[in-house]
Amino acid sequence: MECDKVGDLLLTSTYAIAFTGAGISTASGIPDFRGPNGLWKKYSPELATIEYFKKDPRGFWEFYNLRMRGLFTALPNKAHHALAELEKMGLIRAIITQNIDGLHQLAGSRNVIELHGSMRKCYCVKCLKTYDSNTVLDKIDKEGLPPKCECGGVIRPDVVLFGEPVYNISTALEIAREADLVLAIGSSLTVYPANMIPLTVKEMGGKLIILNAEETPLDNIADIVIRERVEEFLPCVVDYIKSQTLHRSS
Ligand code: NAD
């Protein structure tokens, strides 16, 4: 059983980390970008570029207004809870995520490094005043699109758009260099430089487990590739680990 193999690797590793992508949140009702029901099947990726935000803030917000509202009704699923539990057991040291939905933190994970920012926060591009996204959604309801700051500047979500540098990459790479095992979960592993995280672990001699419904460009260098749904597979790993630790203590 693959759950047993992954569970054993986690139990014998000394510094395991998780690298997560949009696929961990699809079971929470948040569509990914490139999966079979991904957003890019319906919308143009141009909508998530900094150039588009500058050119047409209203059109940009028509898309982000919908994405933001969808996100606020979503709850962590079994995969987020399983990772939080693995962290509590001391078996996962950090989660490096490309996600902007904040669901790892809602599930109770503590050491979460967000590479692409968070949709739960916004800021004004002119005076840099920060806003809670709920306040911005209320502003949209009252004043329309695009949301504006009291200084007159346009407000934007605090997420990394295509064409912008990612957040926290040096911290994330430092962690990746320390790690002896990385679980790459629900990511197409196509977005650079985020995909340097699993690559770096592998290059430094660590092991790479890929858990994704579809093929990824790193499958050929992975130690284990699992093509299952993350919300089914990760709880199974947790159950296996619990059964082993019970077995060892009895
Ligand atoms: P991606 O859309 O490129 O890839 C997601 C992968 O997950 C796909 O290969 C898909 O087949 C797989 N997948 C979907 N549901 C799955 C499931 N239940 N079990 C197993 N696999 C599943 O996403 P990515 O690699 O994270 O990269 C792209 C960008 O997507 C990031 O920049 C991120 O900011 C952004 N994004 C984030 C969210 C979010 O925060 N939830 C949602 C959409 C996009």
Task: Give the domain CATH number at 61.
Answer: 3.30.1600.10
- Looking at the CA of residue 101, tell me the nearest atom of ligand 1: 40
Lowest pLDDT segment from 3-12, 19-28, 39-48, 211-220: 39-48
Last residue of a domain, one of 97, 132, 159: 159
Does 35 lie in the same domain as 142?
yes
Instruction: Answer yes or no: do 143 and 241 share one domain.
Output: no
Separation of 89 CA from ligand 1 center, angstroms? 26
Q: What is the pLDDT of residues 71-129, one digit of tens each?
A: 989 999 999 999 999 999 999 999 999 999 999 999 999 999 999 999 999 999 999 99
Active site residue 116: yes
Whether residue 250 has pLDDT greater than 60: no
Q: Going by CA atoms, what residue is nearest to atom 16 of ligand 1? A: 23
Reported as a pLDDT band with limits 50, 70 and 90, residue 1 is confident
From 33, 69, 160, 190, the mutation candidate for ligand 1 (largest count of ligand atoms within 8 A of CB) is 33
98 in the same domain as 213: yes
Q: In terms of domains, do 179 and 193 share one?
A: yes
Distance in angstroms (rounded) separating the CA atoms of residues 78 and 76: 7
Within the chain, strands assigned E span 16-20, 94-97, 112-114, 117-124, 130-132, 155-159, 181-185, 207-211, 224-226
Of 131, 159, 187, the residue that ends a domain is 159
For atom 7 of ligand 1, the residue with the nearest CA is: 23
β-bridge partners, 154: 148
C-alpha of residue 149 to centroid of ligand 1, in Å = 31
Domain containing residue 216: CATH number: 3.40.50.1220
Placement of tokens 């957003």 in the chain? 39
**In the predicted structure, residue 232 carries a pLDDT above the cut 80:** yes
**In a shared domain, residues 24 and 81:** yes
Structure letter (DSSP) for residue 221: G
Give the closest residue to 107 by CA, choosing from 78, 146, 142.
78
pLDDT value, residue 154? 98
Domains held by the chain: number? 2
- Residue 87: its pLDDT value, please? 98
> Do 59 and 83 reside in the same domain of the chain?
no
Mutational pocket test of ligand 1: of 19, 30, 32, the residue with most ligand atoms within 8 Å of the beta carbon: 32
The edge-to-edge listing of strands for the beta sheet with 94-97 is 112-114, 94-97, 16-20, 181-185, 207-211, 224-226
Same structural domain, 102 and 82: yes
Do residue 199 and residue 109 come from a single domain? yes
Region 215-229 average pLDDT: 98
* Residue 136 shares a structural domain with residue 218: no
128 and 20, same structural domain?
no
Within this chain, do residues 25 and 40 fall inside the same structural domain, yes or no? no
70 CA to centre of ligand 1 in angstroms:
15
Are residue 229 and residue 138 in the same domain, yes or no? no
Rounded distance from Cα 26 to ligand 1 centre (Å):
8
Q: Kindly list the protein residues whose Cβ atom lies closer than 6 A to any atom of ligand 1.
A: 21-23, 25-27, 30, 32-35, 38, 98-101, 116, 186-188, 190-191, 212-214, 229-231
Closest C-alpha to ligand 1, atom 15: 23
pLDDT per position as a tens digit, 116-174: 999 999 999 999 999 999 999 999 999 999 999 999 999 999 999 999 999 999 999 99
pLDDT of residue 207: 98
Residue-number span of the structural domain to which 89 is assigned: 1-29+76-116+167-250
Residue owning the nearest CA to atom 8 of ligand 1: 35
Between the CA of 90 and the centroid of ligand 1 the distance, in Å, is 26
Q: Which amino acid is at 234?
A: L
Which of 107, 130, 159 represents a domain boundary (last residue)? 159
